[in-house]
Structure 1
Amino acid sequence: MALNGLHVTAGYAGSYRRDKSQPILGKIIWSEAPASGAATTNVAPAISDVFGQPVFRFRSSADVYVSIGPTPNAAASPRILVPAGTDYDVFAEPGDKVAWSAA
């Protein structure tokens, strides 16, 4: 199935095995494809003593604006431009949600 819109993955950067390989996105907690203008139903996980600060990874089928926060609004600043077909990683605060709109 082709991607239509924005796909969000939440997890942690790196690995709990700090002496092993360091993937950019290590432990995945959840993923979602929210509708334009709607916030994710899931929130960024808590900061972990083992895994560190949570990360959102975005991938979009078109250029979009993304907003992150407790009540994100992608129609207003601050927001991030996420280019189509590109993985885009951003650190998040626990409890943050994501919303997006077409660029």
Structure 2
Amino acid sequence: MAFSGLHVVCAFPGSAAPQIRAASLLGRPIWSETLATAGTTTNASPGVDPTNGLGDTVFHVLAAADAFVAVGPTPNASTGPRVLAPAGEFVTIYVAKDDKLAWIAA
């Protein structure tokens, strides 16, 4: 089946090594969701990793078609602030504790 909608992975960025925590590498995944239609994730960012003290988490997003995404405790992708997620390209957004992601078609 072809991919449609938007897929988001919540993960810790970089690695556990202090000198490369800010690296743009995708670290340990926490959760993922595929949203077939515009909407908001059911999961939220846990923030700081309690096991190793890593910083804030990231949402790693892939959209099947151009989409606008917004993050926050109650995100609204219609009114923003929002970011364009081009079709087929990964977009990585640093997020804070309890942030969710919402999306709409561009």
**Is the structural similarity TM-score above 0.5?**
yes
Are 1:4 and 2:4 counterparts?
yes
Residues 19-38 of structure 1 aligned to structure 2 (within 5 Å): 24-38=25-39
Q: Distance in 1 between matches of 2:31 and 2:56?
A: 15
- Structure 1 residue 51: Cα displacement: 2.1
Count of matched residue positions in the alignment of Structure 1 and Structure 2:
102
Residues 1-103 of structure 1 aligned to structure 2 (within 5 Å): 1-18=1-18, 24-48=25-49, 50-103=53-106
Change (3 A) 1:23 1:75: closer
Unmatched segments (≥5 aa) in structure 1: none
Q: Distance in 2 between matches of 1:19 and 1:78?
A: 31
CA contact 1:74–1:99 (8 Å) conserved in 2: yes
SS at match of 1:12: strand
CA contact 1:36–1:99 (8 Å) conserved in 2: no
SS at match of 1:51: coil
Unmatched segments (≥5 aa) in structure 2: none
Which has a greater percent of strand? 2
Q: Distance in 2 between matches of 1:41 and 1:72?
A: 12
Q: Distance in 1 between matches of 2:76 and 2:19?
A: 39
Specify the code of the residue in structure 1 equivalent to 2:47: A
CA contact 1:11–1:45 (8 Å) conserved in 2: no
Change (3 A) 1:23 1:78: closer
Percent identity over the alignment is 42
Q: Distance in 2 between matches of 1:78 and 1:35?
A: 22
- TM-score (structure 1 length as normaliser): 0.88
